[in-house]
Every structure is written in C-alpha cells, then in structure tokens.
Chain A
C-alpha cells in the first residue's frame, strides 16, 4: 500500500523512539558496481539535505535561545541519519569517483526540479545552474580518465551525457551577479519553497565536499581543478540560497526544511529499487513526519499561525529520479550562451564589466578546467581506447 500524500495524515515516530547504534550507522554500504546509479544519487542527495538541516538549525539556535533545546534534540537524530546515509558510500569509491557521482546528482536532480518547478524565474535559475554543473561533470570525467585511467561512465551507468556545457572557465562571476530574485512567501507554491531548499542543500554539500577532498589530491592540476570548481559551487550556493524569501521567519524556514525532508524521503521511498535501502528511507520518512510534527508545534506556539498556511495539505507529485537526457540536451542547445547580470539572465555580450574583470583575474595564470580537458572527447572505456585503435 502506498503512503498517503497528505502531509498531516502521519504522526510519524516520536523523537524518543528514533534510536541508532554505531553498527546501525556504519552499516553495510551500497555496491559501487552492482547498485543502480540512482540509488547512489538518492544517498548523496539525502545526506546533503540532512547536513543542511543541521546547518540551518545551528544558525537558528544562535539566534533564539528558546529554541536551543528542541533544536538540539532534533539535530542529534539528524546527525545520526546523515551518518547512516553517508556511510552507505562504499570505500572503493575514490574521491574522484564520488565527485562524478556528486555531479550526476547535481545534473539529474536539478533537471527534474527545473521541469517540475511552477515558477518560471526559478525554473530558469535551475536551468542556468544545471548547465554549469553539467560542464563540471565533463571536466571531472577528463580528470578521472587522465589521472586514474578510469571511465566516468562506470559511475554514471549510461544515464548522463559527458560533453561540455557552459565552459567552467566562463562561469566565474562577480558576486553581485550571482544573487537572484527570491520567491515571495505569500505567493509561492510549497513546491517552489521545497525545491529551493533542496537544491541549496545539495550544492552546499558539494561545495563542502570539494573543499575537503581537493587538498587530498597530489596532482597539481587536480588540486587546481577542485579549487576552481569549489569556487563555482560557492557561487551556486549564493544563487540558490537567494531564491528563498528573506522575509520568511526562522521558524518558517525550519518548517519548510522539515517538509522538504518529508517530501524527499517520500520520493525516495516511492522509487528506490534496493529493498534494504528502501527500508531505510521508509524508516527515516517516519522519523521525518515526527520532526515535521515537532517543528509545526514550535511554529504554531511561537508564531500563532497554522503550519498548513505555509505548507498546504497535499504533498506534490514525487521528485522524479530518472534520466533527464532529452530535457538536458534541449537546454544545452538553447541556453549555454546565457549569462547573469545582477538578478537577470542575459545574452553573453551583456555581462557586466565587473564579472569580466573578476574572471580574467582568476584565469590570469591559466584555467585548470581548460588544461585538464583540452582535446577530451569521452568514449566508452576511456579515451585510451581511441588512441589504441588509431595506433594499432
């Protein structure tokens, strides 16, 4: 029997029953070789969302003493959820292979969000960022091939194309050209609010991951490439974070975050193909209903407003976890030349002088993303297959 899509039909599980052991948290990982790439996509996405839940609640606790105890209680569970999810990534993923998976998340999930997003400007913003992450995948695939001698498609499993997008070297902008228009809290659909929360969380995680693993590489070009792309991920966090209405109260943001977690776990439960992982999503969906109920109570006590005013009643149709190849190719064919000027998307020639100067300064000693991928055309089995065929 499917789960009711009424947000308020489920009491969920109380926090006092949300228990973990260390063995639980560091359980058997997924198989890099045998599990479906979309299982890994869900793992990475939900880890990012849980880490963002911690981040937001820490910020909230700094600002409001009365929330500190309940937020600490929620965070303890979320910390353990994040651990149990992130530890699903097996140790035979090299950091660069995990990077390929992160970019696949950014591409496939953002493409699904862009199509489901009801607000045209927000959808445009997702398409804009999508083309940049798409190019990152191409650059990292070149690095994986030329550094480790591996085929990125062993991770992508044929779902995602490996060709250039908006060139990474051209993605560097002045900060003022990364800030976007927010949705208006009173007019936006709950789905719009959840999309902005989800994609901001995902990009934040990617940024932090690159900042952590970049210096682990010995290769000087790899180190430079991670530095370059981490900088763009920071731009993306700026972009997506600014899609949210700054006039939402702290508790309203916490409420939206919990609803986003419910919605994402719900989408994962509906589509997971690995039975063991599906059971984990079901368990955590029950936990999330408990978190939503708790934050709703806090919201209603503190703000004297009904949580349904913010979130509505029904959960939107599940986020689609499926290859978005046709949509992405169409966006690639039309929107690669788009650039950002302030909050607007404009033709290439209208970029600000500030952005041009900032970019030129960063690329003054050469562009790692250009160096690593010069002459790189992906083919099954790595580019060495082509070279070998040519020479034999």
Chain B
C-alpha cells in the first residue's frame, strides 16, 4: 500500500450525492425548525459547570523528608499541590510520549522511502529523550517526597486530550506523514508545557529544579524542529 493519500471514491460530501443530496437539503429547509443559536445547550452546560465537582485530587506527599512541606507551604500562602500536579502531568505525558514514538517507529519500519533510516534514527533519539525526561521527573517527584506512580488530575486531563493522538498513530491505515502530524501536536504542547513547568518551579523557589527543566525544554524544542522538518519534507514530496 502506498504511504500517501490519493483521489478516490470518498462519499461523504454533497457532490457525491447529486440526486439524493439536493432533495435532502430542500426537505430540511422546508421541514426543519426556524434556525436559532444553541442557547439552551450553552445554558445547560454553564449550569452543570457551575455545580460540578472536580476530576479528583493531588495526593499528599507520603514522606516527611521531601523538600516540599505541604502544610508549611500552605501557611506561607503557597499551593505546592499545583507544582505536584503539573509534575505528575509532565511525567505521564513523557511516558505516553515514548509509546507514541514506539507506534510511529513500527510504521516507519515498513515505510519504503529513501529517508527511512534517517527518520527512524531521529525518532529513536527522540524516544530515548522522552524516556529520560520521564525518569528525570520521577526522580524530582520522589525528591519532593511525593509519589511518581500516582495519576494527578493534570495528568488525567492531558491523557484525555492526547487520546486522539494514540488513535491516529496506532491505526495501521494512517500514513507516516499523518502520524508525524500527531507527533507535531504532541511536541507543540510539550515545549509549551516544559517552559511553563520551569517557570512554575522557579516561582516556587526551586531554582535547581527549574534549571534542569530549562534543559529539558531545550531538548523538546529540538524535537519540535525535527518533527516539523520531517513533516514538511514528506508533504512537499507527496505534493510533487
């Protein structure tokens, strides 16, 4: 199977239903209600948002020897759980990132393209960086006396947001270019979130931690460049 998208018998649009389509549109115009905005829907969503509980909580640090003393920081007016929550999120995101790259690598393995080896090497290198970042974060969370195996609310939310990425890269029918686009989405988020995490750590007084995160953010920025470059190259090649 060619690893590109082609013109074919796509039946989803109105132009592919030249007989049935117009009668369907005219009937809806004649029989449908007077059009209006989805005000009732918005009102119900707002009412539910106002009443809703939260997804869950950040677990308290389990050991007293950590650098982060939840109760004491709260007394100083800080909310250390914000940093813990975001650390848990990055940890989970990097761990899932490894799996995204695993899936794309399996696709590249059977990709007949002159750039196969170069792309595989680039993706393998990024995969190793993601795994190293996961370990880095697990270490930091433990240093703080917290539990790196817990799923924090922010980790849960980012995993929900990334569910579609997993679907795209693991579908055998998606091309390498389509999979790279999913990785682009992942890397764009990753760069922005590492920068934010670094800023947050610094603001909370964890300067050494922030410096390590600056390093990781720099590595992620290179991932983004690499993925973006490959995607551009493949699309331009496909369009020739």
Residues of A within 8 A of B (CB): 28, 33-37, 90-92, 142, 146, 153-155, 157-164, 218-221, 224, 323, 325, 329, 366, 370-372, 374-381, 383, 386-387
Contact = CB atoms under 8 A, between A and B. Distances in A.
Contacts of B37: 375, 387
A130 to B, nearest CB: 16
B235 interface: no
A33 B12 contact: yes
A376 B32 contact: yes
Contact of A380 (B21, B27, B32, B45): B21
B158 to A, nearest CB: 14
Given A92-B171, A154-B12, A161-B27, 11 more contacts: A91-B167, A158-B14, A161-B31, A164-B31, A164-B32, A221-B41, A221-B44, A374-B38, A374-B40, A377-B35, A380-B14
A159 B8 CA distance: 20
A379 B172 CA distance: 33
A159 B33 CA distance: 21
Nearest to A35: B11
A157 B171 contact: no
Interface string B15-41: 011001101110111011111111111
Please provide the 6 A-B residue pairs with the shortest distance between their CB atoms, ordered closest to farther.
Answer: A375-B36, A158-B17, A377-B32, A158-B20, A220-B48, A154-B12
B15 to A, nearest CB: 10
Contact of B8 (A34, A161, A219): A34
A372 B171 contact: no
B100 to A, nearest CB: 16
Contacts of A146: 38, 41
A161 B11 contact: no
Nearest to B172: A28
A282 to B, nearest CB: 23
Contact of A158 (B8, B24, B33, B173): B24
Nearest to A372: B41
A33 B11 contact: yes
Q: Point out which of A34, A146, A153, A381 has the most chain B C-beta atoms below 10 A from its C-beta.
A: A153
B10 interface: yes
Nearest to A390: B35
B114 interface: no
Contacts of B41: 146, 221, 371-372, 374
Nearest to B23: A325
A219 B52 CA distance: 12
* Chain A contact residues, majority secondary structure: loop
Contacts of A220: 44-45, 48
A99 B28 CA distance: 20
Interface of B: 8-14, 16-17, 20-21, 23-25, 27-29, 31-41, 44-45, 48, 160, 167, 171-173
A147 to B, nearest CB: 9
A37 B11 contact: yes
A221 B45 contact: yes
Contacts, number: 111
Contacts of B17: 157-159
A161 B20 CA distance: 10
26 contacts: A28-B172, A28-B173, A33-B12, A34-B8, A34-B9, A34-B10, A90-B171, A142-B38, A146-B38, A153-B14, A154-B12, A154-B13, A159-B17, A161-B27, A161-B28, A161-B31, A162-B28, A164-B32, A219-B45, A221-B44, A325-B20, A325-B24, A374-B41, A375-B35, A379-B25, A379-B29
A153 to B, nearest CB: 7
Contact of A378 (B10, B32, B45, B171): B32
Nearest to B28: A378
A386 B27 contact: no
A146 B38 CA distance: 8
A377 B33 contact: yes
A37 B36 CA distance: 30
Nearest to B25: A380
Nearest to A323: B20
Nearest to A371: B40
A376 B31 CA distance: 11
Contacts of A92: 167, 171
A154 B21 CA distance: 11
Contact of A375 (B10, B11, B38, B48): B38
A52 B136 CA distance: 52
Nearest to B21: A158
A374 B27 contact: no
B40 A377 contact: no
Given A371-B44, A374-B36, A329 B27 contact: yes
Given A153-B14, A153-B24, A380-B14, A163 B32 contact: yes
Give the residue among A146, A158, A329, A375 with the most B Cβ atoms within 10 A: A158
Contacts of B25: 379-380
